[in-house]
Amino acid sequence: MKIFPAIDIKDKKCVRLIKGDFEKKTEYDMSPVEQASKYKDHGFKNLHIVDLDGALTGETVNLDIIEEIVSKFDLKIEIGGGVRNFESIKKYNDTGVEKVILGSAAIKDKNFLKEACEKFPNKIALGLDAKDGYLSVSGWKENSNKLTLDYLKEVNDCGTSRLIYTDINRDGMKQSPNFEETVKVANTSSCPVIISGGVSSIDDIKKAKELKNKNIEGIIVGKAIYDGDIKLDELVKELDA
């Protein structure tokens, strides 16, 4: 089970949102680079980064921060947030990140997802963010009217190398991930799945591992780390347990 500590960047700072709501934002003192260093020092190998400025603008706003993190630390990084064209994918890919996450742009245009997977083989991750079973787009502000599993079946042959499934109702709430729905997604997906949204304690990590679903690759942990509910010394032990 891979564990992806999370860094969400807004205005050059580490932040966390409640259910993706920019009005419900908590800022933290440690910079994104300092936070990445902390994760590296504790022994984590993977990192999940979201450029929230990018999600709002559709531009690679914090590319310089991503470049600095990649160059300083030997971490496998997946990066997302407003990636809507091939130019943005190339910019991130050129930094040396492991995966570039496509969300709204892929949901709105399946051909864009397919072409991206062809142009950047094994580099594209698909971010599916759902609320009450339906996919949300545009920074979670719009309902796409597409059922998650229906859309997934339509794009299963596009060549996506990883899928990140987030239950928006759980995100930032620390009420445990939606394991039941994630398992359905994993059983439908043709590529490995990452659990996202709602991790509240080390017990959630243990439960994810107990699922023993071969298609569930890992889990993202964010707010519970920043708020001190999960200690990094405790969390890193789950990598080798």
What are the backbone angles phi and psi of residue 49, rounded to the nearest 5°? Answer: -120, 135
Catalytic residue (one of 8, 167, 171, 204): 8
Alpha carbon distances (Å) from 96 to 90, 99, 144, 186? 10, 9, 32, 27
* 129 a catalytic residue: yes
Distance CA 193, CA 151 (A): 15
* 8 a catalytic residue: yes
In this structure, what token pair is assigned to residue 89? 């994918």
Among 168, 199, 169, 195, CA closest to 182: 195
Catalytic residue (one of 11, 29, 51, 129): 129
Answer for the pair 130, 166: CB distance below 8 angstroms, yes or no.
Answer: yes
Q: Which residues are catalytic?
A: 8, 129
